[in-house]
């Protein structure tokens, strides 16, 4: 019975995910009805394409909205899973993919590419962001990998210090640049899925799917880490090495996503907590649910970012932070009342 319940919940969540996905294809500046979405989705698998309207819709759906929705879903999955990994291996409920200076490294990379290379919208930006976050990650590993004892503490402190270091460089560069670049950078740091294209989707997909598979494989080790380093050691885990591997995994996810979507706060921190309110996190079920809920949440955030203001797009990060924290606060409030 226990097991049936779990697969039932996963199935329902998946079904809701599919509905959310189709809804996100339908909603936006050009209003396409649900049935039109289905028709054009089905039409693309058949050979007779006649109605020009359908072809127009098809282009919007296939070339604009679908890669966006997929990127949003992947970003949500990735950030939630990355947050779950970090919170587990550092045993710190406040750990977050952006805590370790990875996103500030990415921001610095972007700012350098815009200010020094003068490239505002090009392929260079994501590459620069990825390079920046990799530099941040390597610096963190060099600092925290060396000290074996108190690794968690030095990791967290080093992450915060690196974060400030990169931010100060970013601010310095921004201070000496023209206002136009500042606006571009600001929008980028608040997150957006507008860069989504079919040609780049394979990259986050490969990174995130392989990381989730690795996490599922290491689920017992991750659970064991929650009971403390010493306890985990007695279960046969090389604690320091395991933590470094997991840090690299989550940094890779974050670097990939930051380079494509910019900074999106809240999801990595809060989605694991929200799921943890209801289910035990360390099972296959808990990990899958965290990934799915993160992805679905992000699909709806993307929808909101497109429909809230007419003819204008809101930064995704603004919505995740506002919506997510309100939801989380109400959850805390009702749980407190219930207890």
Quote the CA–CA distance of 67 and 65 in Å, as a whole number.
Answer: 6
- Per-residue binding string, another protein, 240-279, x by CB under 8 A, is ------------------------------------xx-x
Q: Which C-beta is closer to another protein: that of 75 or that of 155?
A: 155
Report the residue from 224, 249, 252, 271 that binds another protein according to the rule CB under 8 A.
Answer: 224
Quote the CA–CA distance of 65 and 187 in Å, as a whole number.
Answer: 20
Q: Which C-beta is closer to another protein: that of 204 or that of 282?
A: 282
Q: Does 294 bind another protein (CB under 8 A)?
A: no
User: Whole-number minimum distance, CB 15 to another protein, in Å?
Assistant: 24
- Per-residue binding string, another protein, 150-169, x by CB under 8 A, is --------------------
Query: What is the DSSP code (8-state) at residue 79?
Result: H
Name the one range near another protein by CB under 8 A: 6-14, 25-33, 230-238, 321-329: 230-238
Report the residue from 82, 88, 254, 320 that binds another protein according to the rule CB under 8 A.
Answer: 88
> What is the phi/psi pair of residue 95, to 5°?
-65, 150
Q: Does 228 bind another protein (CB under 8 A)?
A: yes
Q: Which C-beta is closer to another protein: that of 124 or that of 214?
A: 214
Report the residue from 38, 217, 308, 332 that binds another protein according to the rule CB under 8 A.
Answer: 217
Whether residue 316 contacts residue 68, with contact meaning beta carbons closer than 8 Å, is answered with: no
Q: Does 118 bind another protein (CB under 8 A)?
A: no
Task: List Cα–Cα distances, 76 to 40, 46, 301, 326, in angstroms.
Answer: 26, 32, 10, 18
Q: How many CB atoms lie within 10 A of CB 171?
A: 13
Whether residue 324 contacts residue 269, with contact meaning beta carbons closer than 8 Å, is answered with: no
Q: Which C-beta is closer to another protein: that of 49 or that of 335?
A: 335
Q: Does 30 bind another protein (CB under 8 A)?
A: no
User: Whole-number minimum distance, CB 234 to another protein, in Å?
Assistant: 4
The size of the chain, in residues, is: 339
Q: Does 335 bind another protein (CB under 8 A)?
A: no
Where does residue 129 rank: exposed (0-12), middle (13-18), buried (19+ CB within 10 A)? Answer: buried
Please measure the distance between the N-terminal and C-terminal CA atoms of the chain and give it in whole angstroms: 27
Quote the CA–CA distance of 281 and 6 in Å, as a whole number.
Answer: 13
Name the one range near another protein by CB under 8 A: 45-53, 75-83, 190-198, 221-229: 221-229
Q: Does 332 bind another protein (CB under 8 A)?
A: no
Report the residue from 13, 223, 240, 325 that binds another protein according to the rule CB under 8 A.
Answer: 223
User: Whole-number minimum distance, CB 2 to another protein, in Å?
Assistant: 9
Tokens of residue 211, six digits: 């990381």
List alpha helices for the chain, DSSP H.
2-26, 34-43, 52-59, 66-90, 102-117, 124-146, 151-175, 179-189, 198-217, 219-225, 229-234, 239-261, 267-278, 284-307, 316-338
Report the residue from 148, 171, 197, 280 that binds another protein according to the rule CB under 8 A.
Answer: 280
Query: What is the DSSP code (8-state) at residue 65?
Result: I
- Per-residue binding string, another protein, 91-110, x by CB under 8 A, is x-x-----------------
Q: Which C-beta is closer to another protein: that of 142 or that of 235?
A: 235
User: Whole-number minimum distance, CB 256 to another protein, in Å?
Assistant: 23
């Amino acid at each position: 019975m226990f097991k049936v319940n779990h697969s039932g919940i996963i199935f329902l969540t998946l079904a809701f995910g599919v509905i959310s996905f189709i809804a996100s294809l339908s909603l936006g500046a050009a209003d396409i009805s649900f049935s039109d979405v289905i028709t054009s989705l089905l039409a693309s698998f058949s050979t007779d394409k006649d109605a020009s309207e359908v072809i127009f819709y098809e282009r919007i759906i296939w070339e604009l909205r679908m890669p966006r929705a997929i990127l949003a879903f992947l970003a949500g999955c990735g950030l939630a899973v990355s947050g779950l990994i970090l919170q587990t291996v550092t045993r710190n409920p406040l750990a977050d993919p952006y805590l370790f200076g990875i996103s500030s490294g990415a921001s610095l990379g972007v700012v350098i590419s815009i200010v020094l290379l003068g490239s505002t919208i090009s392929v260079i930006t994501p590459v620069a962001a990825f390079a920046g976050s990799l530099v941040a990650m390597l610096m963190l590993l060099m600092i925290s990998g060396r000290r074996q004892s108190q690794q968690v503490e030095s990791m967290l402190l080093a992450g915060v210090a690196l974060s400030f270091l990169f931010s100060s460089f970013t601010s310095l560069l921004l201070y000496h640049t023209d206002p136009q670049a500042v606006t571009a950078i600001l929008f980028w740091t608040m997150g957006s899925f507008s860069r989504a294209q079919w040609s780049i989707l394979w990259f986050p997909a490969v990174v995130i799917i392989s990381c989730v598979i690795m996490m599922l494989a290491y689920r017992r080790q991750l659970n064991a880490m929650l009971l403390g380093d010493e306890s985990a050691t007695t279960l046969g885990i090389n604690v320091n090495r395991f933590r470094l591997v997991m840090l690299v995994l989550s940094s890779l996810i974050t670097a990939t996503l930051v380079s494509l979507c910019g900074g999106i706060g809240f999801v990595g921190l809060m989605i694991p907590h929200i799921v943890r309110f209801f289910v035990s996190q360390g099972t296959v079920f808990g990990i899958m649910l965290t990934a799915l809920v993160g992805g679905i949440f992000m699909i709806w955030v993307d929808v909101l970012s497109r429909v809230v203001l007419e003819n204008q797009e809101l930064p995704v990060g603004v919505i995740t932070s506002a919506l997510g924290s309100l939801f989380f606060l109400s959850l805390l409030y009702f749980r407190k009342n219930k207890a």
